[in-house]
């Protein structure tokens, strides 16, 4: 059996920029250990992970799982990085939502993106800040599928419910 070597790096859209170096360290470590890196292309943790892959010159070892059917769906502050990522050999797994999708269609596409990312990953690393509902959904998906999960709690009241916490490796987001 061939082991998948894809690490999903996900997290809060509200993750403060002071955690970007931590995300960068984790992505660098994953790349040095032979993993490819996947993210969801959102702002915050996903954007920090994508930027780290770009800085490492490792776009060919990256995957963005998109909820969107085109570049236009990505948040405006992420689009330039996604374009650069694709131009440098990065791969995007496109989703079903158009840029002008209704809220319910967009939410459905975002949850589907999270499920696809987890299904493709051999490990998930999550950076949580605040309530992080979408990130907790992703962590829950990984736990239910038996995918190992590493969680960095990065403030803002971030926490894991006990049913998830017992299945995750948990770190204080200030330390690596």
Cα 9 → chain centroid: 4
Mark 23-33 as b/e (b = at least 16 C-beta within 10 Å).
Answer: bbebbbebbee
Question: Two tokens at 152?
Answer: 């960095």
Return per-residue pLDDT of the chain as tens, 176 residues: 344 599 999 999 999 999 999 999 999 999 999 999 999 999 999 999 999 999 999 999 999 999 999 999 999 999 999 999 999 999 999 999 999 899 999 999 999 999 999 999 999 999 999 998 999 999 999 999 999 999 999 999 999 999 999 999 999 876 54
Rounded to two decimals, what is the model's pTM? 0.94
* Helices then strands, each counted (H, E), the chain: 6, 7
């Amino acid at each position: 059996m061939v082991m998948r070597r894809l690490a999903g790096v996900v997290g809060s859209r509200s993750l403060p920029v002071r955690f970007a170096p931590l995300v960068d360290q984790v992505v660098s470590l994953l790349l040095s250990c032979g993993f490819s890196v996947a993210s969801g292309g959102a702002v915050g943790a996903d954007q920090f992970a994508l930027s780290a892959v770009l800085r490492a010159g490792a776009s060919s070892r990256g995957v963005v799982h998109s909820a969107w059917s085109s570049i236009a769906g990505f948040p405006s502050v992420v689009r330039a990085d996604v374009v650069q990522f694709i131009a440098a050999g990065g791969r995007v797994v496109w989703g079903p939502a158009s840029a002008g999708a209704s809220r319910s269609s967009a939410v459905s596409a975002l949850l589907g993106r999270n499920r696809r990312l987890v299904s493709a990953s051999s490990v998930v690393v999550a950076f949580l800040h605040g309530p992080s509902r979408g990130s907790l959904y992703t962590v829950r998906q990984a736990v239910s599928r038996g995918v190992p999960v590493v969680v960095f709690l990065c403030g803002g009241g971030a926490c894991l419910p006990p049913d998830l916490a017992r299945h995750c490796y948990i770190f204080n987001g200030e330390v690596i």
